[in-house]
Amino acid sequence: MLTVTEAAAEAITALTGQDGTQGGSGLRFAMHSLEGDSPQLAVSVAPQPENGDQVLGAEDGPKVFLEPDAAALLDDKVLDVQQDETGEVAFAVLPQAHPQPGS
């Protein structure tokens, strides 16, 4: 299951709170393209999940909606935020860290 970092949760809260409908809105991931070796994801702020979406997050907290194909793609990933050299913040999908055997 996709893991959401605290920093990403705060960014989702900031994004979904801008339109005044934070109660049920969330960040939605959907497959944009399955062509080639690197599938493309579409990310948007959605007022509510669509039929079939997987919903992550607490009822009164930030939410992530995952379209079924996107949920499968992101199943073993971490959603985080990163800042670039200009100070712009963007969401980043990273591999989950797996504990090393014996540690």
Domain CATH for 72:
2.60.300.12
Q: Is residue 100 part of a domain?
A: no
Q: Using one digit for the tens of pLDDT, what is the confidence trace for 42-52?
A: 999 999 999 99
| Paired tokens of 34 | 């399955």
Confidence of residue 61 (pLDDT cuts 50, 70, 90): confident
Q: What is the chain's Cα-based Rg?
A: 14
pLDDT at 80: 96
Q: How far lies 9's CA from each of 1, 36, 84, 89, 91, in Å?
A: 15, 30, 19, 13, 10
Number of domains in the chain: 1
Contact call for residues 83 and 92 (beta carbons, < 8 A):
no
pLDDT of residue 30: 95
* Greater pLDDT, 40 or 21: 40
Assigned domain for 103 exists: no
Higher pLDDT, 97 or 4: 4
Q: pLDDT band at 32, cuts 50/70/90? A: confident
For the purposes of burial, counting CB atoms within 10 Å of the CB of 4, is it exposed (0-12), middle (13-18) or buried (19 or more)?
buried
Averaged pLDDT, 3-20: 86
Residues 68-85 pLDDT 10s: 999 999 999 999 999 888
Domain that holds residue 13: 3-95
Q: Could you give the CA distance from residue 12 to residue 43 in angstroms, rounded to a whole number? A: 11
